Amino acid sequence: MKPADNPSGIVFDIQHFSVHDGPGVRSTVFLKGCPLTCRWCSNPESQKHQPELLHFEKLCTLCGICVEECPNGALTVADDELRRDETACKLCGLCVSVCPQDARQLSGRRMTVEEVSTEVRQHWRIFMQSGGGVTLSGGEALAQPAFTGALLGFLHDELGFHTCLDTTGFLPWESFETLLPAIDLILLDLKHMDDARHREATGIGNARILENARHLGERGFPVIVRLPLIPDYNDTDDNLHALGRFMKTVRLPKIEVLPYHEFGVSKYTALGKTYTVHSRIEPKAERAASILGDYGLDVTVAPR
């Protein structure tokens, strides 16, 4: 079975046997591009829409193979450092394929609905046996709405898979609403309840996100709110109480607290970026869960 229309989008990873992105065992498809620029983002390579090249300097032995093989002369070794001329680099990925140390990674490739579906459907037996399916994540899958809509529709309607959307919820409701028939569950990130604080750390305000959350609650749509608990940012009692009141008001009863981690820090360096959230203060996930639970919410704490 093939999709009648076969649009394409930019995918930067597909992880199989995922158990933290929805029920059962799943394949999680990560799409590139995101309207938010969260300072703690664990997938910084997901933020830009176009493909990007990561260089993990600690793995590089300066063997020079990538320099010799680059068809565009974009790579040189000078002063014990591998340098890339971004104007000459065409992001062909050849340097990635020839690197014997796996020190280079190309994030982002164009895939069609058929190509993604063909890869994930290999695991259909595991989906069926475990109550799993396919989750679209990012970046932000809603940043590629046409591709996301077509992919969700084919996975859900044609292949019969359970579909989950892991999202920031930043899309006009009229567009968001059209996708709902092909979605079984939404994992909705709520970063901060204060608009100014949300804008400060993510680059955008939260009005549209909260509006969409309210619409989903009014419809009784299956949603699990996700709170990435960030030290000295959204782990305050004031924010947690505001979140609890909001969720109770809009009838969104389920929330998952995601403990803070720094698993993506090495990717910032590989992209030439600086990670700025470092903190020795460990946010108290159990305390956050207790405060939110006082509002009658169904609260879980995700494993680190």
User: Residue 262: which pLDDT band, with cuts at 50, 70 and 90?
Assistant: confident
Q: How far apart are CA 26 and CA 204, in angstroms?
A: 30
Q: Average pLDDT for residues 174-200, to the nearest whole number? A: 97
In the chain the first and final C-alpha atoms are separated, in Å, by 39
CB 178 within 8 Å of CB 164: no
**pLDDT band, residue 303 (cuts 50/70/90):** confident
Res 175 pLDDT > 90: yes
Question: Which strand (E) or helix (H) includes residue 68?
Answer: helix 65-69
73-78 average pLDDT score: 94
94-122 residue pLDDT tens: 999 999 999 999 999 999 999 999 999 99
- At 300, the amino acid letter reads T
Q: Is the pLDDT of residue 4 over 90?
A: no
Burial class (CB in 10 A: 0-12, 13-18, 19+), 164: buried
- pLDDT class of 280 with cuts at 50, 70, 90: low
Average pLDDT (148-175) is 97
- Tokens, residue 62: 């300066």
More confident residue, 132 or 280: 132
Q: Percent of the chain at pLDDT above 90? A: 91
Structure tokens at 17: 């046997």
Residues with Cβ within 8 Å of 15's Cβ and at least 6 positions away in sequence, in order, are 27, 28, 30
Both tokens of residue 84? 């890339």
Provide the pLDDT confidence category of residue 244 given band limits of 50, 70 and 90.
very high
DSSP calls for 8-49: EEEEEEEEEEESSSSSSSEEEEEES--S---TT-S-GGGSSS
Q: What is the spatial distance between Cα 99 and Cα 41, in angstroms, rounded to a whole number? A: 27
Q: Are 25 and 120 in contact (CB under 8 A)?
A: no
pLDDT band, very low/low/confident/very high, at 5 (cuts 50, 70, 90): confident
What integer is the mean pLDDT of 119-142? 96
- Per-residue pLDDT for 14 more than 90? yes
C-beta neighbour count of 253 within 10 angstroms: 16
User: Which of the four pLDDT bands, split at 50, 70 and 90, describes residue 281?
Assistant: low
What CATH superfamily is the domain 8-49+108-301? Aldolase class I (3.20.20.70)
Per-residue pLDDT band for 178 (boundaries 50, 70, 90) equals very high
The residue extents of the domains of the chain are 8-49+108-301, 52-105
Confidence of residue 3 (pLDDT cuts 50, 70, 90): confident
pLDDT at 44 over 70: yes
Question: Tokens at residue 180, please?
Answer: 């709902």
Given a cut of 70, is residue 201 above it in pLDDT?
Answer: yes
pLDDT value at residue 151:
98
The residues near 200 (Cβ < 8 Å, ≥ 6 apart) are none
Contacts of 68 (CB under 8 A, 6+ apart): none
In sequence order, what are the residues at sequence separation of 6 or more whose Cβ sits closer than 8 angstroms to the Cβ of residue 186?
A: 164, 165, 167, 216, 221, 222, 223, 224
Q: Which CATH class is domain 52-105?
A: alpha beta
Rounded to whole angstroms, the Cα distance separating 246 from 222 reads 17
